[in-house]
Structure 1
Amino acid sequence: MNHQRRIAAACALSLAACLPLASPQAHAVELQADGQWAEFYIDEMTAQGGGLGWIDTDTGLAQTFEFSVPTGFTGTLTVVDGGFAGDVFSLTLGGLPLGSTSAVASAAGTAIGVDFDAALADGGYSRGVFTLQAGSYTLGGQLLQSATFEGVPLNATVGGLRLQVSPVPEPGSLLMLLAGLPLVGFGLRRRLQGGAQ
C-alpha cells in the first residue's frame, strides 16, 4: 500500500511539473482623462523575470493603465520618454499592438528629469500621439530601445502618458457650418464693395 502511495505522489509531482506556472497578475492603474501626466517605469533589475515591460516599482509586477473614452468623444493619448533621452517604447491596447513612439538616437544625452512637458518639446526624446475612438482600453508598454551610456543599455527609465478627450462634432452641425461659410463670404464681399463706393 505504501508503495502505491509513493507511485501516486510521484505521478502527481510529474504532472504538476508539466503544467504551466500561473503568471502574476498585472497591476492596473486607472488613467484619468484630465490631461495630467501619469508616470510609468521600466527597470530590468526590479521587474519580476527581468523584463523590459512597464512595472509597478513597489512589486516588480507588470503594470497597465485602464481608461475609457466616452461615447461621442475621441481620445488623444500622448506618450513621452523622460529621464534620459534615447528610449523608445512599443505600446499595446488590450494586448494588441498600438504602435511605438518616435525613433531617436539611443546615446543618452543630458537628463531632463521628470518634466514631461519639457521632454515633449525636446526632439531628442521619443514621443507618440494616438487618437482613440470611444471605448474601454487597457494600455501596456515595453522598452523597444534603451538609452545607452558609453554603449551600454541602461534598461531602466521613466516615461509619461496623458489622456485628453474632446467631443466629436455632430455631423449635422458640421454640415450647417460648411453650408454657412459661403453666406459669410458673400456678406463680407458686399460689405467691402459697399465701403469702397
Structure 2
Amino acid sequence: MNTFKRALLGLSLSLGLVAHAGATTVDLTADGQWHTFDVDSFSSLSGGLEWIDYTDGSVLSFRINNSAPVLLTVADGGFAGDIFLVKDGNVSLGSTSAAVNNYPVSIGLDFDSALSNPLYSKGSFVLAPGSHLITGVLTTSALSDFGALDATVGGVMLQAVPEPAEWATLAAGLFLLSVTAQRSRRK
C-alpha cells in the first residue's frame, strides 16, 4: 500500500468515516425490562439515523426468538418530539405515535413515564411466534432552538401476550372481587 493510501486510510479511521463492518445485536426476552438505544447522526458509525449502540456507535438491532406471541413496545425518551419507524427485518411494523416537541424539558431514560405522557411517541406491536430482527429509524426529530436535533434516546421492551385462558381467569377474578365488594358495602 502506498504512503498516500495509508495516510488516507488512517485519516478515515481516525474520523470514523469507514463504515463499521459489524453491527450490534441484542437478544431480547419477554421480561418486561427496557433496553435502551440511541440515535445520533454524528456519532453513528453509519452516519445515519438508525438505532445505534451507545457504547460503540454501531447499528443496533434486537433479536427475538419466541414460541408464543409477544408484545414489543417502543418509547421515546429524552426530549419529546421524536417518531420512529420500527422494522422487523425488511418489513415495516409501523411508526410510533405522533409526538409534541417539549425541548428543553427531558425525561431522560424514564420510559415508563413516556408511556403515560401524551407528549412522547410510543408504539406497541404484537409479534407472532418465530424469529424477528427488530430495527428502527428516526423519522421525525425533536426540535431545539437551532432546528432538528437528529439525536435522541429510546427504549424497547418485550412482554408476553397473555393467553386467552389467562384473560378469562383474570375477568372471572375481577368479577368475583366486584361481587364481594358490593356485598360488603350492603352490610
TM-score bin, normalised by smaller chain: 0.7 to 0.9
Gaps of 5+ in 1: 1-20, 178-197
RMSD between aligned alpha carbons?
A: 2.4
Structure 1 counterpart of 2:38, one-letter code: Y
**Residue 22 (structure 1) shift:** 8.0
Larger radius of gyration: 1
Is 1:65 paired with 2:65? no
Is 1:34 paired with 2:31? yes
Gaps of 5+ in 2: 1-17, 169-187
The answer to whether the Cα contact below 8 Å between 2:102 and 2:119 also exists between their aligned partners in 1 is no
Distance 1:28 1:169, change over 3 A: same
Structure 2 counterpart of 1:145, one-letter code: T
TM-score scaled by length of structure 2: 0.74
TM-score scaled by length of structure 1: 0.70
The answer to whether the Cα contact below 8 Å between 2:20 and 2:45 also exists between their aligned partners in 1 is no
Match of 1:24 among 17, 21, 41: 21
The answer to whether the Cα contact below 8 Å between 2:82 and 2:99 also exists between their aligned partners in 1 is yes
- Alpha-carbon displacement from aligned partner over 1:113-171 (angstroms, at most 9, x marks no partner): 1101011110000000111111111000010101011251111111011001135337x
Give the structure 2 partner of residue 108 of structure 1.
Answer: 103
Distance across 2 between alignment mates of 1:113 and 1:59:
20
Distance across 1 between alignment mates of 2:81 and 2:19:
34
Other structure's SS at 1:118 match: helix
**What is the number of equivalent residue pairs in this alignment?**
152
Q: Percent of pairs identical after alignment?
A: 43
**Residue 36 (structure 1) shift:** 0.7
- Alpha-carbon displacement from aligned partner over 1:3-36 (angstroms, at most 9, x marks no partner): xxxxxxxxxxxxxxxxxx9862221011121011
Match of 2:47 among 46, 50, 55: 50
Distance across 1 between alignment mates of 2:139 and 2:115:
18
- Alpha-carbon displacement from aligned partner over 1:71-100 (angstroms, at most 9, x marks no partner): xx2111111000110100001101221111
Distance 1:166 1:107, change over 3 A: closer
Is 1:162 paired with 2:157? yes
